Chains A and B, each alone.
Chain A
Amino acid sequence: MKREKQLLKGNYAIAEAAIEAGCQSYFGYPITPQSEIGEYLSTKMPELGRAFVSSESEVAAINMLLGAGSTGVKAMTSSSSCAVALMQEGLSFIAGDEIPCVLVSVMRAGPGLGYIYPSQGDYFQATKGGGNGDYKLVTYAPASVQECIDLTYKCFYVSQKYRTPVCLLADGMLGQMMEPAVVGEYPYEEIDQSDWALSGAKDREPRYIASIERDQETLRQRVEKIFEKYNKILEKENVFEKYEIEGAKLVITAFGSIARIAKAAVKMARKNGLEVGLFRPVLLNPFPEKIVKEIAQKIDGFLDIELNCGQMLQDIKASIAGVANITVEFYGRPAGVMMTVEEIYKQIEITYKKMIEKKYGTACI
């Protein structure tokens, strides 16, 4: 593995990072805009003596992932939008079974087939989930090709450490674009899985991994224990970016690729004397509500920017419940056309003006 900076496409970066992280088993079905991940691994994994299966469907892929994960190996699948929809049943089982594994979800536009344009329309799919029952899909959202690598590592680590499925939520833009990045060494300690993983009942009692539980009290305790893990992940594995938050009156909230464009707009606003900052959650689920609330207490308003009709917006609003006199505006569009820096800057100006008017009664910016 080359350790120097190279020009890498997002999807290939994720695939290389999976190999570097020690992913032993990959299962997947082609869907644009993430097919390069499977293409790349179809050659590399067998060369390394690792498992690659082109599954008959995403339903099969997620269940192969369940089986692989149950043996304690690092395992991954990758997919997109309408096909991740097919995996929801499996994700619920994997969460209930407490099996570690990684799902790479490279969002395209929806609903339905939509199209292959970049979109962030699957924030709800990842963070609210379509699987049944009480569980969360731990989700990290990269904003650059470098982060695609670093967060793939993080996803494997968190999944193994906490025995939970973890999602890397990228989008078509990140998957398809090229930029310089370094595939560094996997930076985390290896987590021993031998005390629970299935390996054959040799010199020990047999083990079983199941989400089914006939005793209602035991089932309750098990689900509560799973939720304790989410609290711990939020406490110990949270990743976020704060930019120019100190002294800001208006804070932009955005995640993933659009956050980079928003950051450029924030720089432009600062240059023009507007007191604007950016908060970019990278860990989207569990959502960093406390941090958003702390920011809310020091500012006059948020402008949430997403490539959807307002999904993370719901989590922002829930986070600031009880904070008085705060403006929350949203600017987004469902799919396809990326926003320009100028366009976002314009929205910053509009929101800033509205916010100041609300506070002081007159426009004075």
Chain B
Amino acid sequence: MEQLVYKKPDSIKDDFKITFCPGCDHGVAVRLVAEVLDELGVRERTIGIASVGCSVFSYDFFNVDIVESAHGRSLAVATGVKRSKPDKVVFTYQGDGDLASIGLAETIHAMTRGEKVTAICINNTTYGMTGGQAGPTTLLGQVTTTTTKGRCVEISGYPLKICEILKEVDGTAYVARVTLDSPQAIMNAKKSIKKAFEAQLKGLGTGFVEILATCPTNWKMTPKGAHARVRGEMSAVFKPGVYKDRVSEV
């Protein structure tokens, strides 16, 4: 007797074509968000915001209504959608360059207003789509196409710690940093993503999850080596964990 134990979530399109590089964590992250939308039963009233970066083709994967945002403006677009249609479930899916560099003002202010939306941020310490330049989260010493001798403080300053900032913002209801480097980590990540949506559904404020993700192509690493980097030097600077959880308090 055959038993189906693994299937594509309804919130992923049937005919999806993956646009991510082999070994990239985006695919897992997209699937987790989709599984959560399925489990919460909100797919049919969800509106997603596609950002600029590797996440730009979100409408290729997510089986929900999607509106594209200009680079960095996803949480402003999400604000416009949610305020106009408060009964919809609204989420952004952004990279660290989008959310924490060009869009930092929109990010902090949307969360300061406590917009009832969910923000998912893929932090891979680089601008992936444009070919691996240094971004706001590039680690000190990290070699990129714009820090060819490694990021140094004198020229590029320090990496920005997103969760540490956003936990201090009064309007956030859930803030967590997760990784996808092991089955257990993936299950943890899903729990956090679900909480970030529950923060919205319960009207508590903004739910936020930062996912430390691999970019094997631009890091010039194998997928396995890239996950080792996430576990090692990335997690040392960007410590995984739940930084704020008003969802469980309720």
Contact = CB atoms under 8 A, between A and B. Distances in A.
A279 to B, nearest CB: 38
Given A61-B76, A198-B67, A206-B66, 10 more contacts: A24-B84, A55-B76, A63-B70, A71-B47, A71-B81, A75-B80, A90-B70, A203-B44, A210-B50, A210-B59
Nearest to A198: B65
B85 A199 contact: yes
A75 B79 CA distance: 13
A209 B80 contact: no
Contact of B45 (A24, A55, A75, A202): A202
A69 interface: yes
A60 interface: yes
A79 interface: no
Interface of A: 24-25, 27, 51, 53, 55-57, 59-61, 63-71, 73, 75, 89-90, 93, 97, 198-203, 206-212
B202 interface: no
B80 A66 contact: yes
Contact of B76 (A60, A199, A207, A212): A60
Contacts of B85: 71, 73, 199
A67 B77 contact: yes
Given A201-B63, A206-B62, A59 B44 contact: no
B65 A208 contact: yes
Contact of B83 (A53, A60, A207): A53
A208 B84 contact: no
B105 interface: yes
Given A53-B113, A63-B77, A202-B44, A212 B84 contact: no
Interface of B: 13, 43-47, 49-50, 56-57, 59, 62-70, 73, 76-85, 88-89, 105-106, 109, 113
Nearest to A74: B84
Contacts of A55: 76, 109
Contacts of B59: 206, 208, 210
Contact of B80 (A59, A68, A97, A212): A68
Contacts of B69: 63, 66-67, 93
10 contacts: A27-B79, A63-B76, A63-B106, A66-B69, A67-B80, A68-B81, A198-B66, A200-B47, A201-B43, A201-B46
